[in-house]
Amino acid sequence: MATNSKHPETVVLHAGYRSDPATNAVAVPIYQTTSFQFNSTQHAANLFALAELGNIYSRIGNPTCDVLEQRVAALEGGVAALALGSGQAASLFAVQNICHAGDNFVASTDIYGGTWNLFANTMKTMGIECRFVDPADPEAFRRATDARTRCYYAETLPNPKLAVFPIAQVAKIGRELGIPLIMDNTAAPVLCRPFDHGAAIVLHSTTKYIGGHGTSIGGILVDGGNFDWEKHKDRFPMLNTPDPSYHGAVWTQATKPMGPVAYIIKARVTLLRDVGAPMSPFNAFMFIQGLETLPLRMRVHCDNAIAVAKHLAKNPKIAKVIHPSLMTGEAKKRADQHLSRGYGALLGFELKGGADAGRKFIDNLKMFYHVANIGDARSLAIHPASTTHSQLSAEEQAQTGVTPGYVRLSIGLEHIDDILADLDQALAAT
Ligand code: PLP
């Protein structure tokens, strides 16, 4: 029996799976198979007609991925999920599922650079316009909305600024206008549940904290089941008019017997079927292992990050430490409103010595890894001005929150004494 618990510590171990129906195995088996035999021609016809749900072909669904999907959906408080090959695929699917050529959507300027490229350039080639607005002013989302706007998109805890997105405020504006808010919750799993604040869709790059050990690339899309697509028929023709790619199915009607899952079923049986970016069963197994200890790990990640923030704030070589725990005013209010279980483990600081000091600091780290990643069990560091943001002008860098001396840390699970010692000796060398 799966759990009814609402506690994340229990959900990640028990939701959606008790034991393997074929073997009674307690660990989730890796169903490394492309296809699943049909019991009869009637069974096959029912599966294709969505009259019955079941396994057909692993591009569209797989039992190992299914357990991960059920667990992440339960953790986020959603109704169903779709595992994908990467976080990037999840971001694309999230928008493309309801937006086609000629439509637009509004995104926060504070998003991961890879997502920015996808939205500003690749989606433009598909005829989909992304309108970027500053999340410091939630009303900017309303101002950018018109009759062809299909969704809002943002990240819960975007780096480098680490200013928590005003989820509740923007979701409220969206619900007034009939626009769903899609939240990338990659940096704050367990810490924030965007559905509790009015978001309609959540996604993760599972590559980061959910995997937790830096072994696998993956993404997941979660449907909150809380948005009335039918009420806003004119805004969502892709869910409310016959779909020629699926013998004229109207998704809000065809999925009614299954619950409020029109969005996520359509993403699976049309986009995933056609584009083909599934998560591999092996990677789903790795993410299930990561998920089992996620709440425990997030607690230690957050405790370590607070200790680092406090410690660095005392260092005379540092001009500013950026972490939600140290923020004041509106930024702190938003952090406290949305992050109920910790301020996260991403942290930035600005060295008074500028770019030169930033490079020296990174080159002198002994334990921290110098990588362009976040959310690993190990502590990670990067100097954005000379790496991830080096193609931007100084002015553009400043707009994104990157100053020449800015260093980004992703605080890991090592003993706090060892983390502080490595930071101190690298700072001494700057
Ligand atoms: N979203 C965020 C917040 C990220 O940091 C990343 C990757 O760094 C992605 C999405 C993309 O995920 P992936 O690398 O799994 O495609």
Q: 249-290, pLDDT tens digit by residue?
A: 999 999 999 999 999 999 999 999 999 999 999 999 999 999
Mutate to test the pocket of ligand 1, among 84, 115, 287, 376 (most ligand atoms within 8 A of CB): 115
% of the chain residues with pLDDT over 70: 100
CA of 112 to the centre of ligand 1 (A): 7
CA of 341 to the centre of ligand 1 (A): 22
User: What's the pLDDT score for residue 1?
Assistant: 44
The reply to whether ligand 1 has any atom less than 6 angstroms from the CB of 255 is: no
Global pTM reads 0.97
In the structure encoding, which two tokens stand for residue 399, read together?
């707009």
Residue 208: what are its φ and ψ, rounded to 5°? -90, -115
Mutate to test the pocket of ligand 1, among 110, 156, 183, 205 (most ligand atoms within 8 A of CB): 205
User: What's the pLDDT score for residue 393?
Assistant: 80
Q: Among candidates 205, 270, 75, 263, which has minimal Cα distance to 67?
A: 75
pLDDT in tens, 8-30: 999 999 999 999 999 999 999 99
User: What's the pLDDT score for residue 289?
Assistant: 98
Domains and CATH numbers, the chain: 8-289 (3.40.640.10), 294-428 (3.90.1150.10)
CB 168 within 8 A of CB 194: no
SS3 429: coil
User: What's the pLDDT score for residue 2?
Assistant: 64
In the structure encoding, which two tokens stand for residue 323, read together?
């972490």
Q: Amino acid identity, residue 228? A: D
Confidence class for position 214, pLDDT limits 50, 70, 90: very high
Tokens 């510590």 sit on residue = 9
How many residues in total does the chain contain?
A: 430
pLDDT in tens, 268-279: 999 999 999 999
β-strand partners of 104:
129, 149
% of the chain residues with pLDDT over 90: 91
In the structure encoding, which two tokens stand for residue 35, read together?
């296809």
Please give the Cα distance from 23 to 113 (Å, whole number): 44
CB 224 within 8 A of CB 198: no
The reply to whether ligand 1 has any atom less than 6 angstroms from the CB of 112 is: yes
Mean pLDDT of the chain: 96
Q: Give me the mean pLDDT over the 354-369 stretch.
A: 95
Please give the Cα distance from 346 to 282 (Å, whole number): 28
